[in-house]
Amino acid sequence: MDKIYRIPQFGARVGRPAHPLRIMNRNGTFPARGTATGRRYHTEADALRFPSGGDVAPQGLTVVYCRVSRRGQQDDLKRPVSAVETYGPDAGVAVDEWLSDVGGGLHFKRKAILSLRERIEKRGIAHLPMAHKDRPTRFGLDWFKHFAMQHGCTITVVNQESLSPQEAMVADPMSIVPAFSCRLYGLRAYRKPIREAANDGSDRF
């Protein structure tokens, strides 16, 4: 009879974290077997046919990404870290690495996010838990999730908001207003120099 593994044991057998294996079971990528009582498990035969590199990142790292918009908010990084630390043990997730950025969600050249994208593309990360859905990017998380999934990485949003259809319809437009308002406010500092340069024919700008 084949040896039977519970999900965490199977993860240790094939060198993968338990959480991505559970997701692969739910989405049908690599379904687990089940007992009459609903307990999920795998066998040694499953371990032998487990994909070596197409569906999950080979190294199987779990990396948490956190972001705040300004340096004055760096103390606020403690909250998303705490949220993921609370979520981790309950979900059977062990974090291998923590990454943090300071910068707006519309700024796509943040050092840590560029590194994160490159590592996902090279299949170096298998699981990316985050406290809130807008941490990697203010918009386009669905695209980012698809990009990650195509490279063997699963994204989990710990603090999921439950919105009505009406609330969901206005959520994105309402979230973009403060971001662009801050940028417009910052441009006011350049209004006077630009006007002066235009009046005196200067080529400073």
For residue 186, what pLDDT is reported?
58
Q: Is the pTM of this model over 0.85?
A: no
**Superfamily, domain 61-157:** Resolvase, N-terminal catalytic domain (3.40.50.1390)
Indicate the pairing of strand 127-130 with strand 97-102.
unpaired
CA gap 33, 21 in Å, rounded: 12
The helix-helix angle for 18-26 and 7-14 (nearest 10°) equals: 110
Taking the CA atoms of 145, 137, 173 and 71 in sequence, report the sign of the dihedral they define. Answer: positive
The CATH number of 4-49, from 2.40.110.10, 1.10.1660.10, 3.40.50.2300, 1.10.3720.10, is 1.10.1660.10
Q: What is the pLDDT of residue 203?
A: 53
Count Cα atoms within 13 angstroms, Cβ side, for 191. Answer: 6
| Of 136, 131, 141, residue with least CA distance to 172 | 141
Q: Are both 4-49 and 61-157 of the same fold?
A: no
**pLDDT one digit per residue (tens) for the chain, 205 residues:** 578 898 888 888 888 778 778 878 887 778 888 887 888 899 988 888 887 644 454 456 888 888 877 777 767 777 777 777 777 766 767 788 888 887 766 666 778 888 888 888 888 888 888 877 766 766 667 888 888 888 888 888 887 554 444 544 444 555 555 555 655 565 566 666 667 766 776 555 4
- pLDDT value of position 162: 45
* Domain ranges (residues) in the chain: 4-49, 61-157
